[in-house]
Chains A and B, each alone.
Chain A
Amino acid sequence: MAILEVKNLSKRFGDLEVLKDISFSVEKGQVVSIIGPSGSGKSTLLRCVNQLETADGGDITVDGLKMLTTENGKVVYAPKKTLREIRLKIGLVFQNFNLFPHKSVMQNIIEAPIHVLKKSKQEAVETAQGLLEKMGLTGKEKSYPCELSGGQQQRVSIARALALKPDILFFDEPTSALDPELTGEILKVIKELAEEKMTMVIVTHEMEFARDVSNHVIFMDGGFIVEEGDPSELFGNTQNERTKQFLKRFKGVQ
């Protein structure tokens, strides 16, 4: 069963239609990459699914829970309680980390487990330590975000999202604020998560990474899904002219 199902999703900012009739689904354990030029609607799509933007039409279902449906052309969101339940099933890693600057690494990670999930401090700290070890950040518990490199900050923010044990983790261009060297460390972490069968949806400009790590690739342009499919198919052997044109620019790098 699909853990995330998006049907006919649309979103406009004023006169600008950013998303036009987007439909796709994500299975449990799948890693989906969303690629496409800037302004194609990738981030907006992620933000709609994450309740950071309100959609103008369509249906979204997360783990069997209806987040929004459209009835007679009007969007109906689920009651607050359901939306909250859905929110806790979803984690999001931001492009610019959005760590809480006044809290230490440890405090950033245990904030939500303690105050949202009402876990005991001891339990939250134990979980956090495990996550920090996984992220290669043991010993950084007491550091503040401003004392860390961009790559380390992004790993903390991944740990923070994982601390809530989400069923599905979204990444909004997780490496776009990092230099190429630091990009590698984040991609490595995401690869490790993929090996553990973490369900992930990744908006990225790292084509090579998208090809290597994902089971499914979605190519977006102009608010539409132009093409989607198996990464080797899409990257190696696409018949779509627009996709070809977009990927041509990356061929040199690969």
Chain B
Amino acid sequence: MNTDDMLNVTKILFEYLPNTLKLFFFTLLFSIPLGMVVTWLKRCRFKPVSWLTNIYILVMRGTPLMLQIVAVYYAIPMIVKGAKDAAEGGEVSGFIQFLDNCMHSSNYMFVALVVAFSFNYAAYFAEIFRGGLESIPVGQYEAASMLGMTRMQTFFRIIMPQVIKRVIPATANEVIVLVKDTSLATVIAYTEIMLKAKQMMNTYSSIMPLFIAGLFYFVMNAIVTLAFMGIEKHYNYYK
């Protein structure tokens, strides 16, 4: 591969970078709030809810994300078909209708990916947040309570800011893994950096495109690392 080819490969990978970034950002956008909800459900005092949440986390962490992507991608059409067959041409529920519209939209592949990624990452985030939450000494709750603060005030003003500081390193880990995991989207032929690099590897009969793709991930993660270092520094004003 000559320099021109390498520049060309880089240029083409750049064109597909937004697809990778889109998956990355949408996954973060949904999985972090979802993770908080899962933490909350897991700590629910009504035991069946807590158990169900445990099963959810067990499945999400216990099976490959690649498998989950494929499952979500093919499960939706199967559910829709099943429901329509059962309805024998009659009306189907609004939810099925919604899924049907989804799978026929041009974004279906992306939607399926974000769903699979978000549910998977939410399970990991949930455990990180739970760890952070449970590491706050009970004395903090007691002090807040002695000052007459409500449960909401205690959580949002006293507990949560401290949890955020404590979960940053573990969250950074997860976000870095996510940058690389976006490449799993190739399994359903979503054209992002990895898939494009593989295609060009064949075109050029060279391993160079793969190497350049590697650099893309490396630079993205260098940026993520720097960003998290900045965030950690911001919270460094107290111990």
Contact = CB atoms under 8 A, between A and B. Distances in A.
A is bound by B:
yes
| SS of B interface (majority) | helix
A111 B140 contact: no
A91 B146 contact: yes
Interface in B123-157: 137, 139-140, 142-149, 153, 157
Contacts, number: 59
Contact of B139 (A88, A94, A115): A94
A101 interface: yes
A5 to B, nearest CB: 20
Contact of B142 (A84, A94, A102, A164): A94
Interface residues of B, number: 20
Contacts of B157: 111, 115
Contacts of A111: 147, 149, 157
Interface residues of A, number: 28
A2 to B, nearest CB: 22
B149 A115 contact: yes
Contacts of A51: 145
A157 B147 CA distance: 11
Interface of A: 50-52, 84, 87-88, 90-92, 94, 96, 98-102, 111-112, 115-117, 144-146, 157, 160-161, 164
17 contacts: A50-B146, A87-B145, A88-B148, A90-B146, A92-B146, A96-B139, A98-B137, A98-B143, A100-B143, A102-B161, A102-B238, A111-B157, A116-B148, A157-B143, A160-B147, A164-B147, A164-B148
Interface of B: 137, 139-140, 142-149, 153, 157-158, 161-162, 165, 237-239
